Each structure stands twice: as C-alpha cells, then as structure tokens.
Amino acid sequence: MSIKAVLFDLDGTLLDRDASLVHFACDQHDRFPQLQLVDKDIYVQKFTELDQHGYVWKDKVYRQLLDEFRVQGLDWTDLLEDYLNAFQRHCRPYPHLLKMLMDLTNRGIKLALVSNGYGQFQYDNFKALGIGHLFDEVLISEWEGLRKPDPAIFIRALGKLGVQAENALFVGDHPINDIKASRNAGMRAVWKRNGVAEQEVDADAVIDDLDEIMRIVLDLER
C-alpha cells in the first residue's frame, strides 16, 4: 500500500501541550502579582488539574482558580486574555518533530493538520512550532464548521490533499476523536501514547515517539 499523505492531530501529538501548559502557568504566575499570594507550585498543579489536558476551556478554569484561592483585584477575563495572547510563546514540540516531518516530505508525502479548537488560537500554537511551511493543509474545527470525531472533517482534509483514504495515515492521541474517527473515514490510524488514555486502543499501530512514524510508513509500503 502506498502512503501518499500523513495527517496529524496537534495537542498531545505534535505539541507537548502538558509541558507547554506548565511552562505558561509558571510564567503567568510570575507576571501577575495577585497570583503570587499562592505558592507557584500549588498554582501550577491546580491549573493543570482543572485544565484536564485541554478539555476544559479556560474561562471555567480561571473562574474556579480565583474562587478557590480567593484572589483579589484580578478578573478571570484578564487571565483568559493573557492565556489567548501568551500561550503560543510557550509551545513545546515533542522530540524529533521537525526531523520526522522533513523525512516524510522528502519522500513526497503530503502533510495536513486536523485539530479541534478555536481557529486563531490553535493556528497560532501550530505556527509557534515552526513547522507550518511543511504542511499542505491545515483544518481547525472552528474554521471548518466540523469537529472530530465527525468523519466529515477527515474526508474534507483528504479532498483538499487529493488523496484517497486508503493511501493516508492519521496520527493522534485521542482514542475516539483521532483513532476511531479517522478509521471510520477509511484511513489507517496510529495512536500516539502520551499517558492520558490508559485503555487499549484499536489502532493500526501504536507509538511512543514521533521518530517511529517513518518506520510505520515504510512497513505499510512493503
């Protein structure tokens, strides 16, 4: 089978979101004197706990943080605006990201991003990784009016790439939104473990590191 395209999720797949969030939360604590009445380690731990790997939007996170720590003189909207504007400066890629993508493009394989989230925010985080020039298409749920696990967003991405589902591979970390959904769209799926999902996942391959992707592509083409 010939692999002509590899499509990726963003958070937890290309972007080490948990590490990025910790880095951002530490910096935010340093920049807002009102937050410094709370121990930094406690603030960061609670922030990441409430965030739930990005599945709780930050308006709820900040409301609860300010209420729980009884922070005065600071509105949750100030912290949310800071998050929207500053998080991109703290984006951290997973190891071997750039080399893996360059290896794929050097083989003539097309690349696309398919991510849930708010359009400009996700796009800014994606650009912050310095890999945008390697991608042929970028689809973000808010801009597309479609959201994973709807197979339609995968089918739209394949149409933009001009590649059939059987010749495409999807790489993601979420068992339902990424793996099951992309397989429902007719693609092969690679599950990237990141310690969030503990259950068994019905994927075509499982990886722990991005540098394993090229081996999987080569195996599928044999």
Counting beta carbons within 10 angstroms of the beta carbon of residue 39, is it exposed (0 to 12), middle (13 to 18) or buried (19 or more)? exposed
- Report the C-alpha gap between 95 and 209 in whole angstroms: 7
Q: What torsion do the CA atoms of 49, 180, 138, 91 make, to the nearest 10 degrees?
A: 20
Task: Decide: helix, strand or coil at residue 73.
Answer: coil
How far apart CA 10 and CA 192 sit, in angstroms, is 11
Residue tagged 């909207």 (tokens): 77
pLDDT digit string (tens) for the chain, length 222 residues: 799 999 999 999 999 999 999 999 999 999 999 999 999 999 999 999 999 988 888 999 999 999 999 999 999 999 999 999 999 999 999 999 999 999 999 999 999 999 999 999 999 999 999 999 999 999 999 999 999 999 999 999 999 999 999 999 999 999 999 999 999 999 999 999 876 655 678 899 999 999 999 999 999 877
Cα 68–chain centre separation: 28
**Torsion over CA: 159, 161, 166, 168 (sign):** negative
| pTM, two decimal places | 0.94
Residue 61, Cβ neighbours under 10 Å: how many?
A: 21
Q: Cα–Cα distance between 148 and 124 in angstroms, integer?
A: 20
